Amino acid sequence: MAFTISCRELGHEGCNWHAVSNTEDRLVDFVAVHSRDHHGIRDFTQEMIATVKNRLGNVPETTAGEEEPVMKEYRCPKCSWRYLAQTDDLIVDAVALHARDAHEIKEFSREMGQKVKSHLTEWTPVTKTACGCHCSS
C-alpha cells in the first residue's frame, strides 16, 4: 500500500495539489514543503503532522512510484539550516532569504546562486528498516 493526501483535505479549498508516497513520513515531508512553498506556512507543527497522518488515504503501491517527485536538498554551511524543494530556483530563492535573515548577507549575487545550485544533493528520506532478527533484549 502507498499513502496519498490532497491539499483540499487539509483545508486548502481550491488547491489541486496532492501527493502519493510509499511511506507515511515522506508524504508528511511533501506536504510540509508544499505548505511552505504554496501556502506560506513556515512552521509545520506536530499537530499538522498528526492531521496529515489522520487524513491520508491508501492507494495501491504500483501506481505510486512514478508520481514521487525528486526533491533536492541544500544545507547551509554556516548553520544547521536546510531546505528541500523540487526545483533549483526555489532553493536559491530560499537560500537568498535565509542568507539575508540569518547571516546578514544583503547582496545575494548570481554567482552565489550558481554556487548553491552546485551544492545541491538529491534528497533521500531516512528509511526505517525493521529488525529482522528476533532478539529479545
Nearest to 90 by CA among 33, 16, 20, 29: 33
| Residue 61 or 67 with smaller CB distance to Zn ion | 67
Which CB sits closer to Zn ion, 49 or 76? 76
In the complex, what is the shortest distance from the CB of residue 60 to Zn ion, in angstroms, rounded to a whole number?
24
How many whole angstroms separate alpha carbon 12 and alpha carbon 23? 23
Q: Is the dihedral of CA 78, 84, 87, 90 positive or negative?
A: negative
The footprint of Zn ion (CB under 5 A) covers 7, 12, 15, 17, 38, 76, 78-79, 81, 102
Name the residue nearer to Zn ion (CB basis): 20 or 131: 20
In angstroms, rounded to a whole number, what is the distance separating the alpha carbons of residues 34 and 17? 8
**Shortest Cβ distance from residue 125 to Zn ion (Å)?**
21
